Chains A and B, each alone.
Chain A
Amino acid sequence: MTAKLMTGAAALALVAGSALAQEVRVYNWSDYIDEDLLTEFEEETGIDLIYDVFDSNEVLETKMLAGSSGYDVVVPSGTFLQRQIQAGAFQKLDKSKLPNLDNMWDVVAERTATYDPGNEYSINYMWGTTGIGVNVGKVQELLGEDAPISSWDLVFDPANMEKLASCGVHFLDAPAEMIPAALNYIGENPDSHDPDVIAKAGDVFEKVRPHIQKFHSSEYINALANGDICVAVGWSGDILQARDRAAEAGNGVEIAYNAPDEGAQMWFDQMAIPTDAPNPEAAHTFLNFIMEAENMAQASNYVYYANGNKAAQAHLNEDVIGDPAIYPSEAALDNLFTTTPYPPRVQRTVTRLWTEIKSGV
């Protein structure tokens, strides 16, 4: 009887073990994939895919630093990735399990190597810019036909913001994106880690603060599409998704995105495998699946973000590869800047300044 029980338990453990191996838990940004890809992955590999979403790097980072998140693949942005690598949150990729690495695009890989030297820990999923989305009709109604929709003047010049306030302006609730944008606007180094320089960004926000309705990092997609707001500083693909949702709804709302002429931040979302991932094997299978040219193209065609996959470009729709808001020209690429992570003390200054900007305290 005991022996029978033992074999039963062993069999159960085996079943549980193999069930675990047949599972991969992915934690990605919200509205960031064509969900058909998820079912395709399960059909192709037989691995159960559990897919959760987040909308801020901070939430992901706290889970990573707390440890035992239970996720096998996570998608931090460049600067956050760099800090989490330093904290020991990720494991080196086993490149022998990732034959599709050959598909990756050197133009992007060179840039992501700033955060992850040699791209040892991560692969690029998507990249984009932080710029301005506008409801063209409403903005032109308030500011005239020649409204500066492709300039930071639109949101950092109090004269413009005063007029726009009535129709609603949202800013990203992401100090690591907004403060560099303001510094760049006043001609300072956007990647400055000097508290005195960073404080200057505060002045820019203070002047327009009364006219900002909300700081939020995901609500603006629907708010723009519904016509609830008319301007949002946001991420390129999110605003382009808002444009498409508005077009589908046929509500007469026309949305446009611009990476402003003065320069805009370029960011990279990188897929990485946590050190304590329960299923690293399945995680590699997932990364390799994502790097398949057709799959990566399908994701980009759906979310309107550029990817770091050269081979995928042949499969991209014309309204993605041909849209300079998604794939900027060589010249426009030079106009984009990147940033590096703030050290803890500077981070506290930045967060404090951001709280002050948002709440006035």
Chain B
Amino acid sequence: MRRLFLIAVPYIWLLALFLVPFAIVLKIALSDIALAIPPYTPTLDLSEGWAGIRAFLSGLDFENFVFLTTDDLYWRAYLSSLKIAAVATVITLLIGYPIAYAMARAAPEWRPTLLMLVILPFWTSFLIRVYSWMGILSSEGVLNQFLMALGLIDTPLQILSTNTAVYIGIVYTYLPFMILPIYATLEKMDDSLLEAAEDLGCSRLEAFWLVTIPLSKGGIIAGCFLVFIPTIGEFVIPSLLGGSDTLMIGKVLWEEFFSNRDWPVASAVAIILLMILIVPIVLFQRNEQKAREAEG
């Protein structure tokens, strides 16, 4: 009984916060656009009971999903989001790993302070931090002023409103999500393994490559997924830092929803996005489970 109760809690949570919203979005994706409040006609009328459901099933056409295949905008936007997310994840890993490594190698009494410094930015609103990047990167901004004062450049660099700015924003924002899981695995690592590797003839670099990296694999994978998954659907960073030609699915979704007022098509876009995200999420879950089994 107690066991049942324990299992029920996460399932109710999933049901209320994932399955029900998903069902609502799916229902909108299968309806038609209309000039009304809300701006779509319900094709599923539950008040009519079975007759309503039967009418809904017989009239079921996936026209909004079919529509997405008629215009190459959508798959281009999905691909472009995947690319931006992948590149940003790699950059974040390249920057985050050395930081996590240095933190784990630091004297134990320093580690809590270093950890604090990584978490500290979360105390400021995410939006304000992205806005500060606008101030840093704009053509009259801090960075350009600084470089021009040093005489390194004559004309301001155009960074804001480009994909470069989007990458900077994403890497900056998600860096802690990469550092923390890697740090967690590195900190637990047994130093005697490294000594053993060196005793057995490894150079320090070889020992790092053959021992440290494999042992921190769990943290690397966790960090990569924590960065990659939210980045695909990112909307705020590309719309504030990106240029008009930054194509990401979050922006396309916004256009469908706000400019076209086409909630059914917007919902269809969202459902496809979810389908795309399910693959890495399932892989992530499996990785976590394996790690747990290995520990247990």
Contacts and interface: CB of A to CB of B under 8 A. Distances in A.
Given A87-B39, A347-B260, A352-B73, A228 B138 contact: yes
B63 interface: no
B133 to A, nearest CB: 14
Contacts of A275: 37
B128 interface: no
B35 A66 contact: no
A355 B261 contact: no
Interface stretch (A10-18, A212-220, A262-270, A309-317): A212-220
A61 interface: yes
B261 A344 contact: yes
A352 B36 contact: no
Contact of B258 (A58, A214, A227, A344): A58
A292 B155 CA distance: 50
Interface residue tally on B, bucketed by range: 20 to 34
A344 B243 contact: no
A294 to B, nearest CB: 36
Contact of A351 (B77, B245, B260): B260
A66 B37 contact: yes
B33 interface: yes
A66 to B, nearest CB: 6
Contact of B35 (A83, A173, A215, A356): A83
B13 to A, nearest CB: 26
B293 interface: no
A86 interface: yes
B35 to A, nearest CB: 5
Interface residues of A, number: 38
Among A59, A168, A173, the most chain B Cβ lie within 10 Å of the Cβ of A168
A175 interface: yes
A275 B37 CA distance: 11
Interface string B131-172: 000000011100000000000000100100100000000000
B258 A226 contact: no
A214 B71 CA distance: 24
Contacts of A86: 35
Contacts of A61: 258, 261
Given A168-B139, A228-B139, A87 B72 contact: no
Contacts of A352: 71, 73
B262 A344 contact: yes
B37 A67 contact: yes
B258 A65 contact: no
Contacts of A59: 258
Interface in B269-284: none
A212 B244 contact: yes
A351 B251 CA distance: 12
A226 B35 contact: no
Interface in B73-112: 73, 76-77
Contact of B37 (A64, A166, A214, A351): A64
B261 A227 contact: no
Interface in B170-194: none
A214 B161 contact: yes
A89 B37 contact: yes
A229 B16 CA distance: 48
A351 B259 contact: yes
Contacts of A361: 72-73, 76-77, 247
B69 to A, nearest CB: 15
Interface in A201-223: 212-215
A361 B81 CA distance: 14
Nearest to A344: B33
Nearest to A89: B37
29 contacts: A58-B258, A65-B38, A65-B261, A83-B35, A86-B35, A87-B35, A87-B36, A87-B39, A88-B36, A168-B139, A173-B244, A175-B259, A213-B158, A213-B243, A214-B243, A228-B139, A275-B37, A344-B260, A347-B259, A347-B260, A347-B261, A348-B260, A348-B262, A351-B259, A352-B73, A356-B73, A358-B244, A358-B245, A361-B77
Interface of B: 33, 35-39, 71-73, 76-77, 138-140, 155, 158, 161, 243-247, 252, 255, 257-262
User: Shortest 3 CB-CB distances between A and B: which pairs?
Assistant: A58-B258, A358-B244, A215-B244
Interface of A: 56, 58-59, 61-62, 64-67, 83, 86-89, 166, 168, 173, 175, 212-215, 226-228, 275, 344, 347-348, 351-352, 354-356, 358-361
Given A88-B37, A344-B261, A347-B259, 6 more contacts: A66-B37, A89-B37, A168-B139, A213-B243, A355-B73, A359-B247
